[in-house]
Amino acid sequence: MVKFEYLKETPSQTAGPYLHIGCTPNFIGNDGIYARDLGSSMVAEGAKGERIVVSGRIFDGAGATIKDAMVEIWQADADGLYNSPEDPRGDADPHFTGWGRQPVDMETGVFQFETIKPGQVPFPDGRMQAPHISLWIVARGINLGLNTRLYFADEDEANAVDPVLQRIEHKHRIQTLIAGKVDGGYALDIYLQGDNETVFFDL
């Protein structure tokens, strides 16, 4: 009779992140691919609107700051126009890209974007949305990027009638999308799990 010895299962490990290698090579010291990392600068001289800094941290389910994440944002310009040929309403500000990409700081876990406070844009049914910024988050263990939004605490009237915020069933969770006013801009922390879990959107 042949006796088989079964091998033990290999312990699982979280893959990645590999995103800095291709997306933000200058950030990790891999110079010479791009003059500067794509998305690192959104605002050029002459851009219209209020210049702001948007910042925050990303926390895992245990409450620890994630320090290897990357965040992308996209938004309308100060007049509510997107820098895209698919926006049929007119030409966006040529001095503002409307798109940015930043890794979080590996020491503090803070992400930060120098941008413009966006104007309102219409929902597909014509209702106006409150000024907002869309965020896409990736990190170690996040196989599919997470989509969420950042709204502004000083836009109470617009937030109250925003068609996306109105669709959130548990109203107390709306606050997870509202960035508070801080010196020079706005701050919003992102929570992946737990009691303060941020509202994420299935796009």
- pLDDT tens for 58-105 read 999 999 999 999 999 999 999 999 999 888 898 999 999 999 999 999
**Is residue 7 in some structural domain?**
no
**Is residue 108 in some structural domain?**
yes
Structural contact between residues 93 and 78, judged by C-beta atoms closer than 8 angstroms: yes
**Is residue 118 in some structural domain?**
yes
**pTM of the full structure:** 0.89
Structural contact between residues 54 and 133, judged by C-beta atoms closer than 8 angstroms: yes
pLDDT at 6: 79
Instruction: Indicate which CATH number applies to the domain containing 70.
Output: 2.60.130.10
**Is residue 203 in some structural domain?**
no
**Is residue 10 in some structural domain?**
no
User: Residue 27 above 70 pLDDT?
Assistant: yes
Which tens digit of pLDDT belongs to each residue from 54-68? 999 999 999 999 999
**Is residue 196 in some structural domain?**
no
- Six token digits for residue 179: 């960035």
**Is residue 104 in some structural domain?**
yes
**Is residue 198 in some structural domain?**
no
Range of the domain at 104: 19-191
Count of structural domains within the chain: 1
Q: How far apart are CA 54 and CA 180, in angstroms?
A: 10
Question: What is the 8-class DSSP label of residue 36?
Answer: S
pLDDT at 15: 61
Burial of 126 (0-12, 13-18, 19+ CB in 10 A): exposed
Which tens digit of pLDDT belongs to each residue from 131-140? 999 999 998 8
